[in-house]
Amino acid sequence: MRTPTPLTVESLTKVYGEVTALRDVSFTAQAGRVTGFLGPNGAGKTSTLRILLGLNRPTAGRALIDGQRYRELSAPLRRVGGSLSSDVFHPGRSGRDHLLTLALASGIERARVDAVLTQVGLADAARRRVGGYSLGMRQRLGLAAALLGDPDALVLDEPINGLDPDGIRWMRGLLRQLADEGRTVLLSSHVLSEVQQTVDDVVVIRHGRIAFDGPLEALEAGTARVRVDAADRDALADALRRAGATVEPGPAGLSVLGLDVARTGEVALAAGLALTHLSDETDGLESVFLALTADEAQAAAAPADAPGVATSAEGSAA
Amino acid sequence: MSTLTALGRATASELAKVFSLKSWWLLGLILVAYVGMTAAGLAFFLSDAGALLAGAAGGGAPAPELDPVVIANLVYSSVTAVGLVIPLLFGALIVTTEYRHGTLTPTTLAQPRRGIVLTAKAIVAALMGALYGVLGLIGSVGLGAPVLAALGEDTALGEPEVIGVLLRTLVATALWSLLGLGLGALLTSQIAAIVIVLAFTQFVEPILRLVAGVWEWSAQLGRFLPGSATDALVGAGILSSLNALDPTVPVAAVDALTWWQGGLVLGGLAAVLLVAAALTTGRRDVE
């Protein structure tokens, strides 16, 4: 069994000159789960991941790999593998030689180089110069580098980017398998739908702040919304509230959160109320995600009141 | 893991990086050809045949009879006279290429202690610098000695003084490779490093050395220029030997540095650059 290696980010703040890229960012990626780190480009995903891997220094806060900073790990590539960009290869060096230099630096046995090249499907191209690789091949080489030390945790920045449909399917399967083996998998994306089928947990970042942190089901559950109406609207609202729903009155009936259509109908029947309207108004996950990550003005127009959504006490971001 | 183990691994990794690219032997090829042609040319013009030719063409004063050891040293030290730009470039390239191609990210992931990476690069720079010294000597001795022999001059290859010049050439090329590493680590920009290396070695320093010789105070300072220090270290150099070649050129107003002083100047300059880089660019975020 693998050593559970949670990746923990604690109150990270990162200031670049005048720009505050991260404000008090905290979350944990758990072992055995795929955590999707989501947000629009420029929200602070890459900054967070680079701090986690010891490449950048935080202005405040810390990032830990199973309780240790990256720089404190005695054999970092064996604990956590990272792939942060597909532009980290010398075009004149072969993919195999790139991995060999990393294996030598980390004291990893050479046999792993060919093993990971085969695992990511690059065995045939291994001795060719990286300059001739496609974006998808460089993504695979980056993943091979991350897997080189057979690590307990993986940190991947936009790993789906640049892959063809076959590659995406393969990548999803591999990420699932790696998590099922007990590894921590933290991956970033700016498109929820890209990773929706793969992730267990979701951390959404917007303007350098965490906007949502929880299991994917919580994000989904928060979106279930039923519109219902009856002649005696107040009685219906009371009955639904007693059944545990959050009810918002609106011009076209009641907006119900926390109950699905069938359960709403049952509650109305039990209360002896005849419904004049009943419909499923559930938003797609993507629209919830878009609402979470929208700019201030749009966010105000489309309030995202899903449970688990962190409300920012300080108000609008600069 | 001990620091020594980490350093050993980092050094092996840095060597593998060098030998997995073409640039190291392309630079070597250029060095052998450039130094070899310079040495052959010098051997010809410093020989009696060359002097006769020069005398006939110029019609000036007959050239003085030169000591064979002085001639041999000048011919063989073509490596340090014209070839130092190659180890200097090499040293600058092995660090700036990491910034240019973003490989500093995987390098730092594999070894997050950046002082260890820079030390490993310094070891590799020194080793490869010495290798370029050997390649340079293959050019200067390999082409210079046959030309001397063909023109009836003494190749002086058995002379202890000449052997000393050859050995100290390797020290000089190793130190210049370290200078390049320090410069590259400090600048991080590959373009800037290449421009500065070429401009300094090809124009700025030769001019500074000539101008520095005009006044005594500037000559005092001029001894510490990298090129002058190198001539002192190696024990031969065209600009330091003008008086031996042409007695009408006045003897330098100040004593040259001793060979070990010259070595210390170069080594000290490289150390300053490397420490400065470790304290500045070595602490920045890896972008």
Minimal CA separation from A105 to chain B, in Å: 5
Nearest to B108 by CA among A102, A139, A90, A158: A102
Dist CA A94 CA A89 (whole Å): 9
pTM reported for the whole predicted model: 0.86
Residue boundaries of the structural domains of chain A: 7-219, 224-280
Report residue B81: phi and psi, to 5°: -75, -40
Residue type, A203: V
ipTM of the complex: 0.90
- Size of the A and B interface in Cβ pairs below 8 Å: 85
What integer is the mean pLDDT of B48-66? Answer: 61
**Closest approach of B50 to chain A, Cα-based (Å):** 45
Interface probe with A: pick from B3, B109, B119, most Cβ of A within 10 Å? B109
CA distance A160 to A169: 9
Query: Quick one: pLDDT at residue A285?
Result: 76
Name the token pair of B177: 């490779």
- The string of DSSP codes covering B133-170 is HHHHHHHHHHHHHHHHHHTT----TT-HHHHHHHHHHH
Structural domain containing residue B234: 3-283
Chain A residue at shortest CA distance from B23: A92
| Distance, CA of A86 to CA of B102 (rounded, Å) | 9
Nearest-angstrom CA–CA distance, B17 and B21: 7
Q: In terms of Cα–Cα distance, which of B69, B198, B73, B84 is closest to B133?
A: B84
Q: Which residues pair with A14 in a beta bridge?
A: A22
Closest partner CB to A55 (pick from B103, B113, B286):
B286
Return phi, psi of residue B77, to 5°: -85, 15
- Please give the pLDDT value at position A297: 44
Q: Which ranges in B152-258 belong to alpha helices (H)?
A: 160-187, 190-199, 205-212, 216-222, 226-234, 242-245
Contact B13 A70 (CB under 8 A): no
pLDDT at B16: 98
Radius of gyration, alpha carbons of chain A: 23
Calculate mean pLDDT across residues B259-270: 95
Per-residue pLDDT tens for B85-107?
Answer: 999 999 999 999 999 999 999 99
Q: Which CATH number fits domain A7-219: 3.40.50.720, 3.40.50.300, 3.40.190.10, 3.50.50.60?
A: 3.40.50.300
What single-letter DSSP state applies at residue A62? E
Distance CA A87, CA A113 (A): 20
Cα–Cα distance measured from residue B68 to residue A247, given in angstroms and rounded to the nearest whole number = 104
Of all residues in chain B, the one with the smallest CA distance to A96 is B20
**DSSP class of residue B21?**
S
Contacts of A52 in chain B (CB under 8 A): none
Residue B30 pLDDT greater than 90, yes or no: yes
- Interface probe, candidates B99, B105, B117, chain A, greatest A C-beta count within 10 A: B105
User: pLDDT 10s per residue in chain A (318 long)?
Assistant: 689 999 999 999 999 989 999 999 999 999 999 999 999 988 999 999 999 999 999 999 999 999 999 999 988 999 999 999 889 999 999 999 999 999 999 999 999 999 999 999 999 999 999 999 999 999 999 999 999 999 999 999 999 888 899 999 999 999 999 999 999 999 999 888 888 889 999 999 999 999 999 998 888 766 678 889 998 899 999 999 998 888 888 888 898 887 888 889 999 999 999 999 998 877 777 777 877 777 654 444 444 444 444 443 333 333
Q: In this structure, which topology does domain A224-280 adopt according to CATH?
A: Alpha-Beta Plaits (3.30.70)
Buried b (16+ CB within 10 A) or exposed e, B77-87: bbbbbbbbbbb
pLDDT tens figures, B146-186: 999 998 888 999 889 999 999 999 999 999 999 999 999 99
B69-86 per-position pLDDT tens digit: 888 999 999 999 999 999
| Residue B4 contacts A, CB cutoff 8 Å | no
How close B255 comes to chain A (CA, Å)?
47
Binning chain B into helix, strand and coil, the percentages to the nearest 5 are 75, 0, 25
Residue A122 has which token pair?
Answer: 């690059």
Backbone angles phi, psi at B128, to 5 degrees: -70, -35
Region of residue A45 (phi > 0: left; psi between -120 and 50: alpha; otherwise: beta): alpha
pLDDT tier at B245, thresholds 50, 70, 90: low
Q: What angle do CA A182, A49, A180 make, to 5 degrees?
A: 15
Residue B74 contacts residue B155 (beta carbons within 8 Å)? no
Average pLDDT for chain B: 90
Supply angle C-alpha B101, B7, B269, rounded to 5.
75
Give the integer Cα–Cα distance in Å for A250 and A312. 26
Cα angle, residue A42 at apex, residues A38 and A47 outer, rounded to 5°: 80
> Closest to A105 (Cβ–Cβ): which among B10, B21, B285?
B10
Is residue B49 over pLDDT 90?
Answer: no
| Three-state secondary-structure class, residue B86 | helix
B3 touches chain A (CB under 8 A): no
Q: What is the rounded distance in angstroms from the CA atom of residue B82 to the CA atom of residue B202? A: 9
Beta bridge partners of A209: A206
- Cα B208 to Cα B127: distance, rounded to the nearest angstrom: 30
